[in-house]
Amino acid sequence: MTPAAWSARAVNRLRRVLVQRGWETLVVAGGFAVYSVYALSRHAQYLTAGYDLGIFDQAVRAYSHFQAPIAPLKGIGVSVLGDHFHPIIALLAPLYWVWDDPRTLLLAQAALFALSTIPVMRFAERRFSRAGAVAIGAAYLSSWPLQAAVNFDFHEIAFAVPLLAVLVDALDRRATRTAVLTCLALLLVREDMGVIVAMAGVLLVVRGRATEAPSRGLAHLRDPRWIGAALGVTGVVMFWLTTSVFIPAFAPSGTFAYWDYSALGHDLPSAIRYGLTRPWSVAKLLVTPTVKAHTLFMLFMPALFTALASPYLLLALPVLAERMLNSRSQVWLVQFHYSAVTAPILAMAAVDGIGRVAALVDRRRRQGPGETAVRSGPRWLVRSWIAWLIGTVVIGTAMFPATYPLNRLVTGAAFERTSRPRQIADVLTHLPLGVCVEADDRIAPHLTKRWLVTLPTRSDGLATWEVLDLNQVTSGWQAPAPAIAFADAEALGFRQVLREGP
């Protein structure tokens, strides 16, 4: 085949794909564009923060220079691997060879979220029409958990979102090899992914059957039930290794900092013992105080609780338990990025659930055993459910900005230009290069590209400059209020060089 003929064939094939998958492509590209614009607008308005965009920027930049992922914003010489086990973020390092800027991470997260829509739509299309699948994909991509995550900078869970969507799709197709490879990738996203991998193993054990009768030798090891058992063990072992060995090895304290389950016990064995002996107390703890019940309601309500009818919901249970049994109140909220991890699981479980409900309704209507084919159930029920999904997102984004932050694009607030960004930018032009700077949390990610940046009190005396936004309530996580940080700096001999604004 000549090069010209090969090129023509490739173009024709691409054209056919675009025609067949044009609406899917539009959803993915549109989602990427919207989330990119929104994230970049927040950065331009100095609404992104050192915790956590600046931290990940410092870590990925270090990876891009083939160095250890040190994040001075957490402390001089502190490695992010002592906080969470997320070596997968090193995959973003090559992007910094193209554009060395924290906004690269914002664009990467928007792309990962958008790409997660593809397996969601393929999953839905196996049950409903292509048009319905596209509508479901659009509703999922616009859901409040993903909006909330984009509204809170960048986090390693950006990788978990598409991987979990691929995992559910692979389990649904009984593509065991894809499921295993996806699980192995998830183990590099964060330490708690080990529990999800273990749950995926349970699903394989329960649902798995050998597609072919084992012949001889080790052929039986290809049985999904054996593979599921292996995944279950691997997930539990990796969770223990990352929290008990890997992370403590890099942490300044020598311990894993996120065991916050004081109501259950001081360690995992005591928590398990508490759960086995007092299950009703654990059940009560899952929904009290009421903020937990509100978050759980918000997770299931947009799909009319249909996720409860699907076995794929099991994959989300470890994450939901991790959040609601936790002693840290911020993880109970609908804000921040915590709900994004379960977004693809709950969306695909809801699709599976409404398919099962529709099939049951259809079976009872026919007064017979009926069929449970892939395209199941009465169309009116599914169409009404999809209309509810779309309506929830539209109304939520238009009327509830606290939960659906993309409202700022609708109202134009994302594009407002106030004097504050200009004043901060003017101050930053006076910073000399090659110095260590203690900076306010909102200013920090704008400095990490060219300066050694820490939060106030985190520089171990290395800082020779300090930049504070005195209008902020706090200067960063566990850092003093700006006014106190300013007074402390003056006491250490710093002098005010420049001040902009009131």
**Per-residue pLDDT tens for 318-347?**
999 999 999 899 999 999 999 999 999 999
pLDDT of the residue at 418: 87
pLDDT of the residue at 149: 97
Is the pLDDT confidence value at 367 over 70? no
Residues 455, 438 contacting (CB under 8 angstroms):
yes
Is the pLDDT confidence value at 103 over 70? yes
pLDDT of the residue at 211: 42
Query: Is the pTM here over 0.75, yes or no?
Result: yes
Q: What is the mean pLDDT of residues 489-497?
A: 89
pLDDT of the residue at 267: 74
Q: How confident is the model at residue 374 (pLDDT cuts 50, 70, 90)?
A: very low
pLDDT of the residue at 375: 46
Rounded distance, CA 86 to CA 69, Å? 11
Q: How confident is the model at residue 217 (pLDDT cuts 50, 70, 90)?
A: very low
Rounded distance, CA 414 to CA 42, Å? 7
pLDDT of the residue at 80: 95
Share of the chain above pLDDT 90, in %: 68
pLDDT of the residue at 386: 95
DSSP type of residue 438: E
Q: How confident is the model at residue 366 (pLDDT cuts 50, 70, 90)?
A: confident
Q: How confident is the model at residue 141 (pLDDT cuts 50, 70, 90)?
A: very high
Q: How confident is the model at residue 266 (pLDDT cuts 50, 70, 90)?
A: confident
Q: What is the mean pLDDT of residues 403-429?
A: 91
HSE, side-chain direction, 13 A CA sphere, residue 2: 3
Q: What is the mean pLDDT of residues 15-26?
A: 72
Q: What is the mean pLDDT of residues 183-194?
A: 96
Is the pLDDT confidence value at 388 over 50? yes
479, exposed or middle or buried, with CB in 10 Å at 0-12, 13-18, 19+?
buried
Q: Whats the size of the chain, residue-wise?
A: 502
Is the pLDDT confidence value at 215 over 50? no
- In this structure, of 90-104, 161-175, 215-229, 254-268, the range with the lowest mean pLDDT score is 215-229
Q: How confident is the model at residue 499 (pLDDT cuts 50, 70, 90)?
A: confident
Q: How confident is the model at residue 15 (pLDDT cuts 50, 70, 90)?
A: low
Is the pLDDT confidence value at 376 over 50? no
Q: What is the mean pLDDT of residues 481-495?
A: 90
Share of the chain above pLDDT 70, in %: 91
pLDDT of the residue at 212: 40
pLDDT of the residue at 271: 82
Rounded distance, CA 127 to CA 357, Å? 12
Is the pLDDT confidence value at 238 over 70? yes
Within its chain, how far is the Cα of 393 from the centroid? 19
Rounded distance, CA 471 to CA 333, Å? 25
Is the pLDDT confidence value at 11 over 80? no
pLDDT of the residue at 210: 44
Q: Which helix (H) or strand (E) holds 26?
A: helix 22-44
Task: Tell me the pairing of strands 465-467 and 452-454.
Answer: unpaired
Q: How confident is the model at residue 3 (pLDDT cuts 50, 70, 90)?
A: low
Q: H/E/C letters for each residue in 247-302?
A: HHHHCCCCCCCCCCCCCCCCCHHHHHHHHHHCHHHHHHHHHCCHHHHHHHHHHHHH
Question: Considering the chain, what is the average pLDDT of its residues?
Answer: 89
Q: How confident is the model at residue 20 (pLDDT cuts 50, 70, 90)?
A: low
Q: What is the mean pLDDT of residues 209-231?
A: 64
**Nearest CA-CA partner of 192 in 60, 321, 278:** 321
Q: How confident is the model at residue 213 (pLDDT cuts 50, 70, 90)?
A: very low
